[in-house]
Structure 1
Amino acid sequence: MTSTDFARAAHQPVAARAAPNQFALLRQRRFAPFFWTQFAGAANDNLFKFAFTVMVTYQLSVSWLEPAMAGLVIGALFILPFLLFSATSGQLTDKFEKTRMIRFVKNLEIAIMLLAAWGFMVANVPVLLGCVFLMGLHSTLFGPVKFAYLPQVLNERELTGGNGMVEMGTFVAILLGNVVGGLLVALPQVGHASVAIACVALAIAGRVVAQFIPNAPATDPGLKINWNPVTETWRNLKLAHGNVVVFRSLLGISWMWFFGAVFLSNFPAFAKEVLHGNEQVASLLLVVFSVGIGVGSLLCEKFSHRHVEIGLVPLGAIGMTVFAVDLYFASRGLPPHAGHTLRSFLAQPAHWRVMADLLLLSLFAGLYSVPMYALIQLRSAPTHRARIIAANNILNALFMIASSVIAGALLKSGFSIPQIFLIVGLANAVVAGYIFLLVPEYLLRFIAWVMTRIVYRFKVRGDQHIPSEGAAILVANHVSFVDAVLLMAASPRPIRFIMDSRIFQVPVLGWIFRLAKCIPVAPQKEDPTVYQHAFDEAAKVLREGDLLGIFPEGGLTRDGQLQPFKGGVMKILEQAKADGLDVPVVPMALTNLWGSYFSRIEKDGAMTRPFRRGLFNRVGLNVGEPVSAAQVTPEVLQGKVARLLAD
């Protein structure tokens, strides 16, 4: 059995016990122990770091570590292992069984926290700084395991929800770790001992829970480890670059970390200098930001209808820019104050707009990041998925360091914190737009998402019949000018469509279809070159293992009735057979589209009365079981689509 077979074998049983929603995963052994293990680890990281930061900033006098520099030094030491060891950790995760890796990492955490406990008890700053580096190493080792484990135990319909739960849990753990760490270290006489006990207890709790995580087989057990971090880092980046969509998604996630780091790192100064608040106000901003990320992450499953819906990414980017810009305007001209307490801060209506901006900004950041993570997990080959995640961690670290350097340079140049927020918000629009033009799939899925949530109320039945991997031909009736857009929305994978060349002349729609790399076709008698090119491209799509969409009627229906299917699908299947492919054909039926915005109606042209049925009218797609190539004829497919229409 190959490593890919191992991955598939681990994945197969999941569908039979698929969770009805993301919260139900917390009752299943394949997810719950893993969730609480990573939750305990994230909480411990932040409890330890924040307690240590408070200790050296307020409680100790260390001549060689100024209080103003303590946070920066601790943050840099924690990030450094991501740059040095991510490449190695990715290899180890691909090579070894993942649960074994998780338990090793949790054992390491206990050892580090025992050393840190001694450091807290005797107030030994060099030892605690060393533990910061070691906890960074702990997180570096755990990162690839975390994101490589999920696609191995969750199916495609659960992946977005599972990532949302992990993202939510991580930010809640960060928040609780910071709050508890700050409270414990401030306790008179017993503060340091309390932090020491809490850190060790959390490490042990995480290790106990990890014992219940089921085995997740190695995906590349024959991998030979390259211990050189420089050459392996470069190799990982080249490996990620091999899949353009995945690599540019990595850049998109790294930009999100750049964006978020600017806000998180400036919350204390923003609270003090701009909002005129005390430490409690700074903590409130962190709470609001964390809650927003958590809510946005959980909403991804609801908005995506339990698929990996990357159409949410442009929506998230738009919200991030809108509310970052509004935060600039909301924080301008606030009246000076000697120092707000939490109560007096909340009593000012102007401050609620600031908090709303932060909440919505972070909520949209959750909508932006979760689908990207899920896409990377879904599109990366199982044999080197962890190494792709390791490449992502390297890029994230570089982008976060860059954010600190750039934000610091802007502050020294005289820019205010609200102005920096404005600059980053506007830069987000530019960066996101550039990424979406480089990877049109994001923009196309966003258009499809808008069409199916706002223009129409779109319901899909039988979408489990759309293959999650491998080549297939999707055939559907042709009712409107946006049929292809609706099919895009129903499929978790990109579809290349063969379409009448005349539709490319329709304003806006033609641009969308060219962006989607649809294949124009014309009658052989009219343009034999275009005709032959269409079938050549169709054969190439199937050889590459992708989905091909066709409308066998050959054109839009003029009366709402199903027209006879033409024989183009047979020519495509013959070529596939000649290429040694056995390609299934999936029949589909678009329902209730006739007479809607983008269809023709009797005695009228297309879209002559676009709002005749009002907004949010219901349309649907019924997907039938795949038909083997040997059983396909135009008449058989037409009959199956007709039955789906009747259903």
Structure 2
Amino acid sequence: MKQQSNQTEREQVRWARKRFIAMAGTYFLGVFNDNFFKQAILLLAVAAGLNQIQGYATELFSLPFILFSAWGGWLADRFAKRRVVIGVKFLELMAMLIGAYGILTMNWPCVLSMVFLMGLQSTLFGPALNGSIPELYPRNFVTRANAVLKLVTTVAILLGMALAGFALDLQLMSTSIPFGRIVVACAVVCIGLLGVLASFGVYSRPAGNTHVSFPWSGPLHSIRDLVKLKKDPLLLLAVFCDSFFYFVSLLAVLVINTLGLQQLGLSASRTSLLAVSLMVGVCFGALAAAKITSHSRWTHVLPWGSAGMGISLAAAGGLVTVGGGGQFLLLLCCLVLAGSFGGLFLIPVTSFIQVRPGAGDKGKVIAAANFLAFSCMLLAGRLFPLLDGHFQPAVSMQILGAFSLLAGLVISLVLKLKLS
């Protein structure tokens, strides 16, 4: 009987893999476009001395998750997820057209409006896509599927962030508008169109809960959904850990941009490589998490992952403060290590949030997790100007490291209460 069960599971994995490719491709293009454009505007803002734009952009990207996460969860549970994905990809294309105009004309209100639309399409897109993973794969394979998807999306983030700096530095011909900005504008529109085409290949499965009522109260509905998670303390812990990760990682990326461009005097492309090194580490950590964790055994990596992030970020900040030869290479290594611990921390948390809820509640729970995560990211956008105004970037990095190390200790104490 066990052999027959294993055979059935392998057949389901083979069946799901072909459908997973279209979903991963759609996700890859969207994530690449988001990060390519966002990194380009952040670099342009810092280069122009408009450091506060980084905070504004972060807040505007996070705001839709706070206002409309409940709506995204409702769409994912109420309709076939393929229909949701296709509709949202058309919204992304519209956002990229607005953003392309904004970056060509350096119209900051237009650019920031596009950032808000990027956040809105991600709000509606996330529950539908993430909720479909446990629909495709057997429960025991969800962690590995998430590791692969995290690898795909991290490569998209890496390429987006790295190529943004190189694209802006391009000077292949003399134009009235800097050539690099023209490249960025054309690229985001073309990739947005490819994303629309790829979305038609996403697998369609019937809606999980066609009778769920529309959450008119929006954020209040998300708060109520979070409060209800008290009945499942382990799921609530996973949601809080997910939010903590995105809070720290976003602040780290914002600090890295000012660290590279202003404190170290690096070019846009070399500054992007600092952020890329963090994402490379996330890939390594994700693959490690797929090997040493499972749906039933994952909490043991949380304290080590958080503490490892903290020590590595603090080391990166200390390295810049001390200075010395080979600083850039050592800084890259510290950030790779921080990302590795981050990936080890994040993947089992993400998988548990996807698998734990019932079939008709996955969208709702994922949306509630997004609501909390992006509320924390909005807070990060608010905190960044305070850090930037009072501390050197290297010191801000050390503060983030200390906070992550403290969080690891708190998580360890919570787990000792035998929450699971």
TM-score (norm 2): 0.87
Q: Contact (CA 8 Å) 2:314, 2:401: kept in 1 or not?
A: yes
Q: Distance in 2 between matches of 1:138 and 1:165?
A: 23
1:435 aligns with 2:411: yes
Instruction: State the Cα distance separating 1:273 from its structure 2 match.
Output: 5.3
Match of 2:95 among 86, 90, 112: 112
Equivalent of 1:304, from 283, 289, 293?
A: 293
Distance 1:217 1:13 in 2: 25
Partner-residue secondary structure (3-state), 2:361: helix
**Amino acid aligned to 1:214:** Y
| Aligned mates of 2:368, 2:244 — CA distance in 1 | 14
Structure 1 residue 282 corresponds to structure 2 residue 265 = no
Letter of the structure 2 residue corresponding to residue 114 of structure 1: L
Inter-partner Cα distance in structure 1 for 2:102 and 2:313: 40
- The answer for the alignment partner of 2:3 in structure 1 is none
Given that 1:160 and 1:301 are in contact with CA atoms closer than 8 Å, whether structure 2 keeps it comes out as yes
Report the residue type matching 1:266 in the other structure.
V
Q: Which amino acid aligns with 1:359?
A: V
Query: C-alpha separation between the residues in 1 aligned to 2:132 and 2:316?
Result: 37
Deviations 1:255-289 (A, max 9, x none): 11122122111112222555454434322211211
Aligned to 2:153: 170
CA deviation profile, 1:315-365 (whole Å, cap 9, x unmatched):
322322332333344333214xxxxxxxxxxxx334433322211111010
1:579 corresponds in structure 2 to: none
1:377 correspondence with 2:354: yes
Larger helix proportion of the pair: 2
Judged with a 3 Å threshold, the aligned counterparts in structure 2 of structure 1 residues 102 and 440 are, in CA distance, closer, same or farther, namely farther
User: Which residues of 2 match residues 43-62 of structure 1 at below 5 A?
Assistant: 43-54=32-43
Alignment match, 2:186: 197
1:160–1:306 contact (8 Å) kept in structure 2: yes
CA contact (8 A) 2:63 2:378 kept: no
**Structure 1 counterpart of 2:407, one-letter code:** V
Q: 1:15 offset after TM fit, Å?
A: 2.0
**d(CA) in 2 for partners of 1:120 and 1:324?**
32
Q: Does 1:391 align with 2:385?
A: no
Correspondence list, 1:583-602, <5 A: none
Distance of aligned partners of 1:402 and 1:53 in 2 relative to their CA distance in 1, 3 Å threshold: closer
Report the alpha carbon displacement of residue 119 of structure 1 after superposing the two structures with TM.
Answer: 4.2
Per-residue CA distance 1:222-277 (angstroms, 9 max, x = gap)? 10102221331222222333321111211111111122122111112222555454
* TM-score between the two structures when normalised by the length of structure 1: 0.58
Q: 1:409 to 1:71 in 2, by over 3 A?
A: closer
State whether structure 2 residue 83 is matched by structure 1 residue 89. no
| CA spacing shift, 1:321–1:76, aligned 2, 3 Å | closer
Q: Give the greater-gyration-radius structure (CA).
A: 1
- Aligned-partner Cα distance in 2 for 1:314–1:152: 30
Within 2, Cα distance between the matches of 1:416 and 1:179?
24
| Alpha-carbon distance, 1:308 to partner | 5.9
Aligned-residue sequence identity (percent) comes to 26
Q: 1:258 to 1:516 in 2, by over 3 A?
A: closer
- Relative contact order (C-alpha < 8 Å, sep 6+): which is higher? 2
CA contact (8 A) 1:95 1:221 kept: yes
Could you tell me which runs of 5 or more consecutive residues in structure 2 were left unpaired when the two chains were aligned: 1-5
Preserved contact between residue 294 and residue 348 of structure 2 (Cα < 8 Å): no
Cα RMSD after superposing both structures: 2.9
Q: Does 1:254 align with 2:235?
A: no
Which residue of 2 is the match for residue 456 of structure 1?
none
Amino acid at match of 1:270: L
Once the two structures are superposed, what CA deviation does each residue of 1:533-586 show, in whole Å capped at 9, x if it has no partner?
Answer: xxxxxxxxxxxxxxxxxxxxxxxxxxxxxxxxxxxxxxxxxxxxxxxxxxxxxx
CA distance in 1, matches of 2:13, 2:289: 16
Q: CA deviation at 1:136?
A: 1.2
Structure 1: runs of 5+ lacking an equivalent: 1-11, 60-65, 336-347, 442-514, 518-647
Tell me how far apart the structure 1 counterparts of residues 295 and 38 of structure 2 sit (CA, whole Å): 36
Tell me, in whole angstroms, the C-alpha distance in 2 between the residues paired with 1:184 and 1:407: 26
1:236, 1:390 within 8 Å by CA — same for their partners in 2?
no
Give the Cα–Cα distance (whole angstroms) in 1 for the partners of residues 41 and 319 of structure 2.
34
* C-alpha separation in 2, matches of 1:67 and 1:233: 34
**Where is the strand percentage greater, Structure 1 or Structure 2?**
1
